[in-house]
Structure 1
Amino acid sequence: MDKGKIVALEDRIPKLKEQRRRKANRRLIILLCLFFTMIAVVAYVQSPLSHVKKITIKGNELLSTEEILKKTKISKDTNIWSVKKDTITSTLKDMNVIKQAKVTIMWPNTVMIEIEERNKLAYLESDNSYFPVMENGKVLKDREVAEIPVNAPILYKFKEGAILKEMVTALDELPVEVRNAISEIHYTPKKTDQYHISLFMNDGFEVSATLRTFAEKMVHYPSIISQLDPSIKGIIDLEVGSYFKAYELEADEAEDLEIETDKGEG
């Protein structure tokens, strides 16, 4: 063997000791870092620093911020680590008003709640009070409006159930401009038609229709009134075909005016 390559054991021992000392020091430093990190985390979790400092709510119109906060049970005393997003989302979606909900935690201590409310399509009249009716047919009985609403059709003689649900579904299918043109809808069933309704429009016309074909025919309302003299008011009959009868004509001399509808509309 090449004698120049031979290293005496007593020369290697100091180097081995130094390597072991360095490794031990690194392990100690790592353990100390982990220890102090754990202490810091525990101190943070137990201190007010980990409490929710800001709650942001977006998308609510019918519901107040206070109502949503009460439902979620989140406050500025809530620990950010205890906020369960899925549970809160599920709780919010149990409310008739809310269609979708999303909860986001923004570190270090902010909670954002984004909600999508169901569309309010009408108001239901009951004992001179008015209650919002949502797109799913649910009536918000805890949101009574004392004054006559002007931002949605008012429903008279309707009750919660299949007829109301069908009415709301039909309204939801109408273009917004047509829906906004309706002032009142009265449930006026006949012996021959349990689905008959009478509408009073903001422009002064009255519409006689059946729920079975209401959405299909009412979508043509702008085309229908464009063929009528706006100074002569009357009833537009959409039950079978489309006919107009003026109020001012006597019953024995009145003639129905057949109205053409643009089948390409809607």
Structure 2
Amino acid sequence: MSKKNIVSIEDRIPKLKQARKKKANQRLIFYLSIFFFLISVIVYVQSPLSHVKTINVQGNVHMNESEIIHLSQLSSDTNIWMIDFGSIKTAIKNNPIVDDVEVSRNLPWTVNIEITEHNVIGYLKDENNYFPILATGVVLNDMGQATYNGNSPMLVDFSNDEVITRMAKELNELPGSIANLISEIHWKPTEDNENNIFIYMNDGYMVDGTIRNFSERMKVYPSIVSQLEPDAEGIIHIGVGVYFESFEPNASDENDLEEIPEESLE
């Protein structure tokens, strides 16, 4: 073997020392990086930098944003990593207006609250105030308003909570296209029928009906109206049987309506 290919141990030692030193430095840098990263995380978590600074509330129509934030108990002192999402959802859902709620965080310091409210299916008229009625039948007595916006039917003379709940359930199941045609619903209980109601429609007709199966019976309202003369005025009866009672003096008292599916009126 040639002497030129022989490397003495003395020549190799400096290179080995240099390689070991380089690896040791790399290892030290790695550990120091982890150390300072952990320190930074601890400082961030323990400092106001991790506190909630922004609360975004969406989906609320009848609830005030300030009320939702108050129920959530979130504040600028709340650590964004210590948020109890379950407790916040439970607290907000205790409000009868709320149907569902979703809570999420958006780092570094934002919390999002998405509200889904129950449908407002009508307004209860009480003297000079109008109170929203939810699909659940709950009347928002603390949200009375002096004016009626006309977006939902007005319920008049409804003084029984159970009756209001049943009426609300029927209205909630009614297609929006038909519910929007209803102006007022008056509760007219009799000795024989406590469910008797009288309805004023936005298209000029009046309807005599009953709360029981009201949503099913009213689904045929467009078919009933289509059989009447455009200038006809009177009362459409959808209780026991279906007929039109005209206001015209020369018209017959009762005009039977045809082509209305009987199964839709059961």
**TM-score where L is the length of structure 1:** 0.84
Q: Which amino acid aligns with 1:65?
A: E
Q: Which moved more, 1:134-143 or 1:61-70?
A: 61-70
Query: 2:233 is matched with which residue?
Result: 233
Map 1:76-225 → 2, pairs under 5 A = 76-159=76-159, 161-225=161-225
Aligned equivalents of 2:54, 2:60: Cα separation in 1: 17
1:83 alignment partner, SS class: coil
3-state SS, counterpart of residue 81 of structure 2: helix
Q: Check whether the contact 1:139–1:160 (CA below 8 A) recurs between aligned residues.
A: no
Distance in 2, Cα, partners of 1:66 & 1:190: 45
Normalised TM-score (structure 2):
0.84
Shift of 1:254: 4.4
1:19 Cα shift? Answer: 10
1:99 and 1:31 mapped to 2: Cα distance?
51
Distance 2:230 2:203 in 1: 8
| Structure 1 residues 160 and 67: CA distance shift in structure 2, 3 A | farther
Return the letter of the residue paired with 2:146. Answer: A
Q: CA deviation at 1:261?
A: 4.5
Shift of 1:123: 0.4
1:261 and 1:201, CA in 2 relative to 1: closer, same or farther beyond 3 A? farther
Q: Give secondary structure in 2 for the equivalent of 1:92.
A: helix
2:253 is matched with: 255
* C-alpha distance in 2 between matches for 1:149 and 1:133: 13
Cα offset, 1:22, TM superposition: 8.7
Conservation of the 8 A alpha-carbon contact between 2:122 and 2:154: yes
Structure 2: state its 5+ residue gaps: 1-13
Q: What RMSD, in angstroms, separates the aligned Cα atoms of the two structures?
A: 3.0
- Percent identity reads 41
C-alpha separation in 2, matches of 1:38 and 1:215: 63
Q: 1:59 maps to what in 2?
A: 59
Matching residue of 1:10:
none
Instruction: Please name the residue that 1:11 is paired with.
Output: none
Distance 1:265 1:38, change over 3 A: same
| Inter-partner Cα distance in structure 1 for 2:225 and 2:151 | 22
Gaps of at least 5 residues in structure 1 are 1-13
Match of 2:11 in 1: none
Equivalent residue letter for 1:231: D
AA partner of residue 201 (structure 2) = M
- SS at 1:81 equivalent: coil
Structure 1 contact 132–140 (Cα < 8 Å) conserved: yes
Instruction: Name 1:69's counterpart in structure 2.
Output: 69
Asked if 1 retains the 8 angstrom alpha-carbon contact of 2:216 and 2:264, the reply is no
Q: Quick check: 147-156 or 67-76, which moved more?
A: 67-76
- Please say which of residues 29-38 and 178-187 is displaced more in the overlay: 29-38
Query: What is the CA-CA distance between 1:162 and the residue it aligns to?
Result: 2.1
- 3-state SS of 2:253 partner: coil
* 3-state SS of paired residue (1:115): strand
Distance 1:109 1:219, change over 3 A: same
